[in-house]
Structure 1
Amino acid sequence: MQRIGVLVGMQSEARLARNLYPTAIEASGATMRGAEIALQRLLDTGVDKIVSFGFAAGLDPLIKPGTILLPHTIYVNNKDYVPDLTLRSQLGAEKSQVKIGALLHSDTIITSCAEKEILFQQTGCVAVDMESGIVAQYCEEHQIPFAVLRVVCDSANRDLPPVASLALSNDGHLNISKIIGSLLGNPDQVFDLIKLGADAAIAYWQLNSFVHKMSAFRFG
Structure 2
Amino acid sequence: MQQRIGVLVGMQSEAKLARHLYPAAIEASGATKEGAKLALNRLVVANVTSIVSFGFAAGLDPLIKAGTILLPNVIHVNGKDYVSDPMLRVKLGAEKSRIKVGALLHSDEIITASVEKQELFQRTGCVALDMESGIVAQYCADHQIPFAVLRVVCDSAARDLPPLACMALSHDGNLNRLQMMKSLLLNPGQIAGLIKLGVDAGIAYSQLNSFVHHKNMFENI
Per the normalisation by structure 2, the TM-score is 0.98
Unaligned runs of 5+ in 2: none
Once the two structures are superposed, the pairs formed by residues 69-218 of structure 1 within 5 Å of their partners are: 69-215=70-216, 217-218=218-219
d(CA) in 1 for partners of 2:23 and 2:145? 20
1:130-167 CA distances to partner (integer Å, 9 max, x unpaired)?
A: 00000000000000000000000000000000000000
- Offset of 1:20 from its aligned partner? 1.4
d(CA) in 1 for partners of 2:219 and 2:78? 35
d(CA) in 2 for partners of 1:34 and 1:20? 22
More moved, 80-89 vs 20-29: 20-29
Give percent identity, aligned residues only: 70
d(CA) in 2 for partners of 1:94 and 1:207? 16
d(CA) in 2 for partners of 1:180 and 1:79? 39
- Offset of 1:11 from its aligned partner? 0.2
- Offset of 1:23 from its aligned partner? 3.3
The alignment of Structure 1 onto Structure 2 pairs a total of residues equal to 220
- Offset of 1:213 from its aligned partner? 1.2
Q: Which runs of 4+ in 1 moved over 2 A?
A: 216-220
Structure 2 counterpart of 1:159, which letter? D
- Offset of 1:178 from its aligned partner? 0.2
- Offset of 1:21 from its aligned partner? 2.2
Per the normalisation by structure 1, the TM-score is 0.98
d(CA) in 2 for partners of 1:17 and 1:191? 30
d(CA) in 1 for partners of 2:64 and 2:17? 22
Confirm or deny: 8 A CA contact 1:2 1:219 kept in the other structure: no
- Offset of 1:218 from its aligned partner? 3.3
Structure 2 counterpart of 1:162, which letter? P
Instruction: Give the superposed CA RMSD.
Output: 0.8
Structure 2 counterpart of 1:62, which letter? L
Structure 2 counterpart of 1:145, which letter? P
d(CA) in 2 for partners of 1:216 and 1:183? 39
* Counterpart secondary structure, 1:18: helix
- Offset of 1:6 from its aligned partner? 0.1
- Offset of 1:19 from its aligned partner? 1.1
d(CA) in 2 for partners of 1:169 and 1:56? 18
d(CA) in 1 for partners of 2:98 and 2:207? 10
Structure 2 counterpart of 1:71, which letter? P
Instruction: Kindly indicate whether residue 62 of structure 2 is the aligned counterpart of residue 61 of structure 1.
Output: yes
d(CA) in 1 for partners of 2:62 and 2:22? 31
* Counterpart secondary structure, 1:99: coil
d(CA) in 2 for partners of 1:219 and 1:154? 33
* Counterpart secondary structure, 2:21: coil
* Counterpart secondary structure, 1:148: strand
d(CA) in 2 for partners of 1:160 and 1:19? 29
- Offset of 1:93 from its aligned partner? 0.1
**Cα distance, 1:174–1:78 mapped onto 2, change above 3 Å:** same
d(CA) in 2 for partners of 1:140 and 1:193? 37
- Offset of 1:216 from its aligned partner? 5.5
d(CA) in 2 for partners of 1:176 and 1:66? 24
d(CA) in 2 for partners of 1:216 and 1:175? 31
d(CA) in 1 for partners of 2:171 and 2:145? 25
* Counterpart secondary structure, 1:172: coil
Confirm or deny: 8 A CA contact 2:107 2:129 kept in the other structure: yes
1:101-157 CA distances to partner (integer Å, 9 max, x unpaired)?
A: 100000000000111011000000000000000000000000000000000000000
